[in-house]
Amino acid sequence: MIDGGEDKTRGGGSPTPVRPERLRGPVEFVGRATELAQLRQLVATPPCLILLEGEPGIGKSRLVAELLAELPGQHLIGECDDVPEPFPLGVLLDAIRGGADRLGPLNPVAGALAPLLPELADVLPDAPPPLTDPAAERHRLLRAVAAVLAALSPATLLLEDLHWADPATCELLAYLSTHPVEGLAVVLTARTATPGSSTPIHDALARTPPWSVTRVALSPLDADDVRRLAARTLRLDDPPQQLTATLLDRTAGIPFVVEEVLRTLAERGGDPLADDSVPFVLRDVLLWRLRPLDEAIREVLGAAAVLGMTPDQRILASVLSLDRVAIGAALTAAHRAGLLHDAGDGLRFRHDLARQVVYDLVPRESREWLHLRVARVLEQELPRPVAQLAHHYRRAGSGADFVRNAEAAADLATERGDDATAASFLLQTMDIAELPRPVRVRLAAKLGRSAIDGLSQAEAIPVLERLLADRRLPPGARGELGLVLGRMLRQQGEALRGYTEIERAVPYLRAPRRKAPALAVLAAPDTVVGRHVDDHLARCAEAETAAAASGDPAAHLAVRIARASLLLELGDPAAWAIISELRASAELADRPREHARACLNWAQGALHAGHPEQAEALLAAGRALVDETGYERLTSLVEATELSLDRAAGRLDGLAERLGRLVANAERMPVTLLDARVELATVLARTAGTAGARHDQVESAERALREVVADARRVGAIWPLVQALSALARLTVAGRPDEAVRHAAEALSLVRGKGILAWAAEAVLVLAEAASAAGDPGRAAGAVAELEAGLAGRDAPLAQATLRRCRELVAA
């Protein structure tokens, strides 16, 4: 449990709709005229997606309530909960339920929602048959929600507290930002992400184009706004400047705190500037309101704060061993004292800040006892609310019960395709010091599998590293955890560390179906320095043996894809036959996500080998599959490959700006970051190498290339390192030929160690140009001969064309 006011816990089950009127009493709406006018203008011309951000208590809910109060048409409203059960899209489904009575004929794809909304079975189409690919299933679900929202439009969709939203909801909102529903205005509220941390909604929207989301940030009230609030609440024609200044200083201009202080001043009367009558801190305000309540009422209110924002009287009665009448009377007394308000379907705390203060006033031992009592009561519920149970057991200090329920919640999330939520629960279990090693290993293996395609890799990596450092770790667990760690490191852009971890894991992998895809990863030549192509070929052969022994079609498919990629990089014409065969196969067609990934990898390989036409065709196929499956994690790879093709084809107009945007948002798929950076630096270098280029352009390009070289060396990523060194050699060959020769020679040395000489064609050309300019073309003859030997019999048309130019320079 977090002491000191940082625990933002709310209990309760599924999300409940936001009420447009969340405030009570005389405090008026002030200080948001500009933001309100902006919101009115945006929602008046849908489609649009608006993110309203600000710190807790800043007035986000009050502002949207003011907007909805005067907004005509249909409002679809949902509110996220901070301890929801693992149920993807829950807040959106709640919003849809609210408008279900207005649903007309629907697109058949909307039937995918039937299992999630059984109460709407009479209006939804029949559920379609399930798909074998989880990503395709998830994308169909997103399309189903979009179809229902289209049927309910024109409408305004308001979703509150999106900082607590599940990843599937965030994925859908990112989808809606680029695939807007005609007539639908989407308004989201969320707390501002704090430095060094983020939330799924901020991560999801950060990956969308800048034009697709309008962000409206709310700041604290200024002195004029505080003065107007004081004048209206205290009925003062001209509040003293000292009062305004003191209010602003003690409340930081946070509207909720200002309102609570002013309410208290209005209720107490007297001199508002008297030292003993102005409780400027929210805690003091609530203490003053608690003072007239007896001990029994305070006990109920404290238990309510432990339970959540909207306390359930039935559960409170069981927790405290009181009858419902006594509970209701206590809550009503708290309502009269201004500590709760009537939300229309029951009493609730006015704001999470207020609930938190009451929660913190409960002694720690009592809080732990109450959390334990709440958990014991919730254990009797069916189905068991495992997420809430995990939350309460953790705050009760019951580690074993917490782990049991957190694992159950993670399993439920995984079953529903929500890997990120599963990883979040599993990460929390790793903090339990007394966790037995076998349990920790089992949970870490689940964590690794969830985090591979989730948003928790950065947090999961150190956990797995600590486990693998334990010499007592069983061999089987060492293999599984090492493989997962290696994959995550590679996805985070740590090429050599990831490759090495997988190498270490392979001997410990017992099952051939697990060993085969691990070896297939090691067969990829374009990712890591220090491994010759003969090593990759040997790994590929081992992978084929393991796949045959496994009898697993998925393992066999992964190895065949890897074999085609390896042969493509080698310039072996046999690659194209394998690619054609696989693309025509039912095995690949039934796995659209793997099909998309394969096409994009092959497109990059075709580009490396100098086949831009085939790369264009493979990219188009991969892009179509990504659009079809909705596998959002591959969109960065699609864009990166597309931009590489544009650069190779000389389509440079606006390319640097597009590459810059991709680099800025590459946190979504860090493995693409270095490739995107080297492409951007190469484009800048091309511009800097043209006649009339400014000195600052040359400096900028050179700096970008040097930074890529440094980072690629650090992580051991060979392809961007060779590309950057070759481009740096090209940029400096005219003015600093000796330096250019050093860069080109380093690139050639790296490629020599890899054994794919086609990659060094540009570097060898720079060596030939430098030798020719120095009047000694024969000095490059050895490098040219080495390139010629390396290209013999290879299908590498771009490198072959470069070789011809090298020969001409040497012959001259």
Contact present, 609 and 796 (Cβ < 8 Å)? yes
pLDDT recorded at residue 26 = 37
**Placement of tokens 């606006």 in the chain:** 654
Return the axis-axis angle of helices 324-336 and 313-320, rounded to nearest 10°: 110
pLDDT recorded at residue 14 = 34
Mind listing the pLDDT tens digit for each residue in 745-761? 999 999 999 999 999 99
Contact present, 342 and 333 (Cβ < 8 Å)? no
**Placement of tokens 């009570």 in the chain:** 24
pLDDT recorded at residue 697 = 92
Taking the C-alpha atoms of residue 18 and residue 164, their distance in angstroms, rounded to an integer, is 14
Contact present, 397 and 341 (Cβ < 8 Å)? no
Radius of gyration of the chain (CA): 31
pLDDT recorded at residue 645 = 94
pTM beyond 0.85: no
- Tell whether omega for the bond before 47 is within 30 degrees of 0, i.e. cis: yes
pLDDT recorded at residue 508 = 96
pLDDT recorded at residue 787 = 97
pLDDT recorded at residue 133 = 63
Ramachandran area for residue 385 (φ above 0: left; ψ -120 to 50: alpha; else beta): beta
DSSP code of residue 194: P
pLDDT recorded at residue 706 = 97
DSSP code of residue 213: -
Mind listing the pLDDT tens digit for each residue in 731-787? 999 999 999 999 999 999 999 999 999 999 999 999 999 999 999 989 999 999 999
Can you list the residues of the chain whose pLDDT is less than 50? 1-27, 275-278
pLDDT recorded at residue 738 = 95
pLDDT recorded at residue 4 = 33
Q: Which strands, in side-by-side order, build the sheet including 155-160?
A: 74-79, 155-160, 184-191, 48-54, 214-217
